[in-house]
Amino acid sequence: MTPQQASARALEICQLAPIVPVLVVHDASIAQDLARALIAGGLPALEVTLRTDAALDVIAQMAKVEGGVVGAGTLLTPADVRAAKAAGARFGVSPGATDILLDACEAEGLPLLPGAATASEAMRLLERGYSVQKFFPAEASGGAAALKAIGAPIPQVRFCPTGGVSPSNAADYLGLSNTICAGGSWVCPQNLIDAKDWGAIEALAREASKLRV
């Protein structure tokens, strides 16, 4: 998969909904129920972060749910890429980007949303062919104002800002011409996951699905 093909597929996935839930799930047995709730609420693109021992099993379970597109977040190494692809991930997300990681994703045919936080990082990825990127950590890197500023001289790149995005600032990001969608964890808070309150999670997802400006 070429970087251009990866970005084209990443763009399609990012355009599915205004918010991509960023999921930290510790129990694979609830993965399908959680995925169904988010998809029913209008958020079909799901990022499962590789931050728990259960993450790969969670991806495998969510990949079985109809209507969803499950990806793996926090990809750091080629081993992460191979494991995520084998588990059923259909896209990957990384906090930053290294040549080794990009090479692995291209070799495995896994569309990647590579992370960038500065103009130089965005330019380097664009030079390689990645025109769709993750702006991370969004709030710590200056928020919507910083992303707007980066977009002025580099309009070719479109972003999915993640990191500190919330209901109170999501519209600021989504209103930018260089933002496609945003990643957020507020649609699936741990207390609701622990309570298995799928109705409440579906309601949060439905509210988030209406955020597009």
Kindly tell me the sign of the dihedral angle through the C-alpha atoms of 198, 91, 178, 76: positive
| Spatial separation of the C-alpha atoms in residues 66 and 135, rounded to whole Å | 29
Six token digits for residue 24: 């930290």
Q: In this structure, what token pair is assigned to residue 43?
A: 């958020």
Using CA atoms, how far residue 130 sits from 7, 9, 127, 167, 210, in Å, is: 6, 11, 7, 28, 28
Enumerate the active-site residues.
47, 134
Distance CA 74, CA 18 (A): 20
* DSSP H or E stretch at residue 165: none
